[in-house]
Structure formats: structure tokens, C-alpha cells
Amino acid sequence: MWKTRITALIVLILAAGLGYFVYTSEMKASIANEAPTADAVQPKKTFMNSHGFKLGLDLKGGSHLVYQADVTTVKGDVGEAMASLRDVIERRVNALGLSEPMVTVENAGFTNGGEHRLIVDLPGVTDINQAIKQIGETPVLEFKTKNPNPAPQKITVGKDGVANIAVDSNNEWVTTGLTGAYLDHTAVEFDQTTNEPKVSLVFNKEGAALFEKITSENIGKQVAIFLDGGIISAPNVNEKITGGSAVISGNFTPKTAKDLSDRLNFGALPVSVNLVSTQTIGASLGTNAVHAGVKAGIVGFLLVALFLILWYRLPGIIAVLSLSVYVLIVLTIFKMIPVTLTAAGIAGFIISIGTAVDANILIFERMKEELRRGKDLSGAIRAGYDRAWTSIRDANISSIITGVILYSFGTVLIKGFALTLIIGMLVALFSAITVSRLFIYALSIKRQNKFVSFLFGSGFRITKSSNNAN
């Protein structure tokens, strides 16, 4: 008996610890995420302030971009190509310095018309023009040499009769085959003499060999660097360059040099994409949705708790304790994974709470049946949990299977609902049987009198039993 009571006490202490973690981490995360002023010092990342709830766009506000991926030219595994596309886009989005961006792949299926899509969620971003430009643009870096046989000069005569002589730039330079695809990485450096920013390039093994060949064949000649079709530098080669390094210099500011370096580091997209839709959700709308959802959850929980206590009395109090432990466990899991909470995800969580309540009601009704059949209180409690287990197990497993199907084939919105539903169902199996059973066994009620019969009664009746019955 004392072992059971000590275990129940430990569970209550752990639940209180989870409650402290959920509340404190959310408060500290909210303070840390507040937009700092120009002179404000960014708070140091700690375990607590880095574990706030991760909210989706419909709750936090921001921009939702949907890209259609063209996989018709992919020769290898489409799944690997889409994963590589996601990685490249994630690097580009992270370079914007955004808070908790989310990039997900949506494979072809009947829910999206058989298209492969990339979903980009940018929390807190309402002006998405810069983000779209950063995500979609791919810089084209090329190294070209002088054409030894350029096309004849073009001569045009203006209206004033003056002849204009121009060189056909398309034939002035010839490609060398060395492009940004051979880059390993780039970085911003500053000239030690002039302190002007420049972009250093480091090629991979193949690019280094090609660059060495180009410079060795063009000593005393110009090698031009083109970016997006325009020439940005055309230095003379004084000697063969080994090691696979080069420098792009010009009229850069620190910002433009960093932007160029970032764009070159992003690399080319492995799959071409087309922006098919955008959606912007205001921050105020998301805040209102969060407040409404929290309010609805608290009110709903209190009403359910009131019903359980009034109708099932002492077992109802046990159920409320068990339900509280359940909620704290689930919220902690949401923070630790972390789960991105959307309105649909909160709906899945609330449905799982209803399932946990149903499990307790099923147990208590079984207990009442056993008491009416004449079993003593201890036997009725034990039989109630044993007989209700198979029904609770089967109902939750069927819901979990449904959640897995939704998560496997649904859209991003449906996945959020399915994930919270699955987590809630799994925890409900634990809390409804293990936690509530532990608490009610810890009471160790053996004597049965009118008061005990009242505590274990239901509604407006007092359930009676015969102590002589088996």
C-alpha cells in the first residue's frame, strides 16, 4: 500500500515539475522572442527560453509560399532530388535570419493533383518580396576568356548621320566551362591596403584543376568573371594559379559583397521550381487565434473536469488528476520534439483529450456494473480497469492507425492534425490506465459504507453492493 502511495506521490511531483517547465519555458521564450529595440541586447539562449511552443503561420502570422517542382528532367531518384531541393532552400531561408522557418516537401498524391511541391513557411514575415527573391534566384557564375577570333564590329548610323561602332559582346568572350557549379564555398574578405570588401572563391577538386588549366593557358591575357550574364571583373592573368582559389573584387559594399557570397554559396537548385501561390497572415490575426484557442482549451477542460467530478465524484477527481498529468505530458512532448502547432494541430490535441476522457468514463461505468453485480469495491475497481482495457486499447489503436494514414498521405495542414492526434492517443493509453489506476489504488479504500458508496456513486444515485458477493 505504501509503495503504491509513494509511487503516486512521485508521479504528482513529476507532473508538477512538468507544469513548471511548460509554464516557465513559455514565459521566458515569449520574452526572448519579443522584437528587440536597436540598442537592446539579445538574450542568451538557455534551455528554458529555447523551448517555447513552435507556432504555425495561422497562429503566429507570416507568409506561406507554395512552389511546384518540375521533376520531369530528374534522371535519378525523385525523392533524393526533392530532399536536396529542400536543403538548398533551407540554406537560403536561414540566410535571411528568420525565426523558425519551416521548409517541407509534399510528394505527389491525389490530394495535390499529382504534383511535387515545396512548402515554405516564414513566421513573422509579412513583406515577402525579399524572401521570394532570395529563395527563387540562382546566380549564374561563369569564367570566360577573350575570343581570339571575335565577330566583326557592328557599325550603325544614327539619325544624325554619326556612325556608332560597337563590339558584339556575345562573341567577345568564350566560355571556359568553369562555372559556379564547381564552387566549394565563398567568403567575404577585406583588402589589407584599401579595406575594400571582396569575395574569395574556393573551388572543389575538379574546379581547381580546371581553373589552373585556364590560368596556365591565358598568362598575360584577361579572364573575365560573369555573374548573371554581366561582366563584373576582367583581371589579367600574371601567372598560373594553383590551389583552386580566386577573388572577385569591384565596387562592393560590405552588404553587396555578403549578398553575392551568400548567393554563390547557395548553389544552383537541383530541381527547377515555380511559385504557384502565396499567402500572408497578419500577426494580429495569429495572436487572436492563439488567445482564442487557449481560452477555448481552458474553458473546455474546466467544464469537462466539472462534469467528471459532479457525475462520478471521487473517481471523477481521480480522472481530473489523470487528465491533468496527460495534458502536461503531451505539452512537454510538443515542446521537446518540437511540434509545430497549428489550428488543425490544436484540434487534434483536443480530440485526443476527449479520447482520454472517454477512456476514464468507460472504466468508471465498468466499475459501476461490477458493483451492481454485487462485487466488493476493491474487486469492482480491479475488474473495471481489466474489462475496460481491451475496449480502450482497440479504440485508440484504430484512431492511431487513422492518424498514421492521414500523416502519410495528407497535406501539410493535415499532417499537423494527424501528428498531434497520434501523440495524444499514445499518451492517453498510458494516462487512462496506468496513472488513474495508480491514484485510485493509492487511496486503498477497503471498507464500504454509505459514505464510500456515495463517493463511488454516479449522478443522482448511490451505487450499492453486497460485501458477501464474489
Q: What is the pLDDT of residue 470?
A: 38
pLDDT for 460: 59
Q: Which of 202, 234, 266 marks a domain boundary?
A: 266
Q: Which residues on adjacent β-strands are paired with residue 380?
A: none
Domain-embedded: residue 463: no
448 and 383 together in one domain: yes
pLDDT tops 90 at residue 199: no
| 396 in the same domain as 292 | yes
Residue 46 lies in a domain: no
Asked if residue 464 has pLDDT above 60, the reply is no
**Domain end: 266, 292, 323, which one?**
266
Whether pTM > 0.85 for this model: the answer is no
214 & 321 share domain: no
pLDDT at residue 372, as a whole number:
82
Report whether pLDDT(62) > 50: yes
- Written as one letter, the residue type at 371 is L
Domain end (from 266, 299, 327)? 266
- Residue 37 in any domain: the answer is no
Q: How confident is the model at residue 168 (pLDDT cuts 50, 70, 90)?
A: low
Of the candidates 351, 451, 366, the one whose C-alpha atom is nearest the C-alpha of residue 402 is: 351
399-453 pLDDT, tens digit each = 999 999 998 887 777 888 999 999 999 998 888 788 888 888 888 776 667 777 7
In a domain, 462, yes or no: no
Residue 98 falls inside a structural domain: yes
What whole-number distance in Å separates Cα of residue 214 and Cα of residue 221?
Answer: 11
Q: Are strands 340-341 and 272-281 parallel, antiparallel or unpaired?
A: unpaired
Task: Say if residues 351 and 304 touch (Cβ distance below 8 Å).
Answer: no
- Lowest mean pLDDT of 51-65, 92-106, 183-197, 198-212, name the range: 92-106
Instruction: Tell me the CATH number at 189.
Output: 3.30.1360.200
Distance CA 26, CA 28 (A): 6
Any domain includes 48 = no
Distance between first and last Cα of the chain:
23
Q: Based on the fold, state whether residues 188 and 210 are members of the same structural domain.
A: yes
As a whole number, the mean pLDDT across the chain is 80
Q: Is the dihedral of CA 73, 77, 82, 85 positive or negative?
A: negative
pLDDT category at 11 given cuts 50, 70, 90 is very high
The model's pLDDT over 424-434, given as tens digits with 9 standing for 90+, comes to 999 988 887 88
- Cβ contact 224:145 at 8 Å: yes
| 286 and 247 part of one domain | no
Give the least confident one: 279-283, 309-313, 336-340, 373-377: 279-283
List the CATH number of the domain containing 428.
1.20.1640.10
Report yes or no on 44 lying in a domain. Answer: no
What does the pLDDT read at residue 430? 83
Domain of residue 99, CATH code: 3.30.70.3400
Q: What was the pLDDT predicted at 291?
A: 79
Count of C-beta atoms within a 10 Å radius of residue 381: 24
Q: 126 with 260, same domain? A: no
Mean pLDDT of the 170-198 span = 83
Residues 302 and 420 in one domain: yes
Containing structural domain, residue 351: 2-32+282-455
Please indicate whether residue 22 or residue 230 has the higher confidence score (pLDDT).
22
Structural domain contains residue 389: yes
Nearest of 266, 255, 241 to residue 183 by alpha carbon: 266
Count of domains for the chain: 3
Examine the pLDDT at 115 and tell me if it is beyond 50: yes
pLDDT, average across residues 340-363: 86
Looking at the fold, whether 262 and 327 belong to one and the same domain comes out as: no
* Same domain membership, residue 95 and residue 18: no
pLDDT tier at 185, thresholds 50, 70, 90: confident
